[in-house]
Amino acid sequence: MSEADYFVVDGLCVSLGGKLRVKDVSFGLPRGCLTALVGPSGAGKTTLLRALAGLIPSEGRITAGGEEVSKIPVRQRARRLSYVPQGEAVHWPLPVRDVVALGRYPHGAPDPQRLGVTDADAVARALHEVDLMPLQDRRVTELSGGERRRVAIARALATEAPILLADEPIASLDPYFQLAVMALLQRQARAGALVLVITHDIGLAARFADCILMLSEGRLVACGPPSAVLAPPRLADVFSIDAYRSSHDAQPVLVPWAMR
């Protein structure tokens, strides 16, 4: 695999409010990989993801496809990298379809009401992927929290970026859509995207992710396959828990079971 297929982070440090929140983090991820970023609350996961998306200042080097992300022009960067924020507030009573169509803005489609064929097809595919076609004409402000979460995911998918960063994309979703969204993200990776998601559900991370990044107190303490990173000693050390382990339909089952 060539450098052009990798997302590489080298010596990343982020300070917020005068405190170092992300401390010398380095890793490389290939396209075609679904990676879960896990760690306790306050470990620096969201700060790290926002830095990777170029939303906050950082030190160190971030490259996508061999190019430094900070040097890629903003609109071109938005076509290369899409971002689903955590708990995004919704203020404007726009139809779901128009909100999802905002994902086409980096491709030169500033008006959701006047989309070309290519842009309209991308929006329709994104709506279909998250089962929002029946709600496409509803105002987004009238939706439940879980439905709005799916709108945010669909907007990112509509961009058709080769890199997708998502901060807790399954938060506020019911079990059906938690499974559906994780399966969707896995399909995106299998189709060639590089997908990095924050999740507190280590069970779904163990089942769906190809790779796990584990963060603790701002430092990357492990990076590798779920079976290695989510091993009992590390769960005990980082999360202070014991977990129940089994398998079902040849898939791993990992359930947080007891506090230590």
Quick one: average pLDDT of 247-252? 95
CA–CA gap between residue 260 and residue 256 (Å, rounded): 11
Judge whether residue 230 has pLDDT over 90: yes
Q: So what's the pLDDT on residue 2?
A: 63
Q: How confident is the model at residue 169 (pLDDT cuts 50, 70, 90)?
A: very high
Q: So what's the pLDDT on residue 207?
A: 97
DSSP track, 194-241: EEEEE-S-HHHHHHH-SEEEEEETTEEEEEE-HHHHT-HHHHHHHH-E
In order of their start, the domains of the chain are: 7-259 (3.40.50.300)
Judge whether residue 91 has pLDDT over 90: no
Quick one: average pLDDT of 89-101? 91
Quick one: average pLDDT of 234-239? 98
Judge whether residue 3 has pLDDT over 70: no
CA–CA gap between residue 215 and residue 251 (Å, rounded): 24
Q: Which residues contact 240 (CB under 8 A, 6 or more apart)?
A: 259, 260
6-52 pLDDT tens trace: 899 999 999 999 999 999 999 999 999 999 999 999 999 999 999 99
Q: So what's the pLDDT on residue 4?
A: 64
Average pLDDT, the chain: 95
Q: So what's the pLDDT on residue 159?
A: 98
pTM comes to 0.96
Quick one: average pLDDT of 83-100? 90
Quick one: average pLDDT of 185-193? 97
CA geometry: angle at 154 spanning 147 and 196, to 5°? Answer: 105
Q: So what's the pLDDT on residue 213?
A: 98
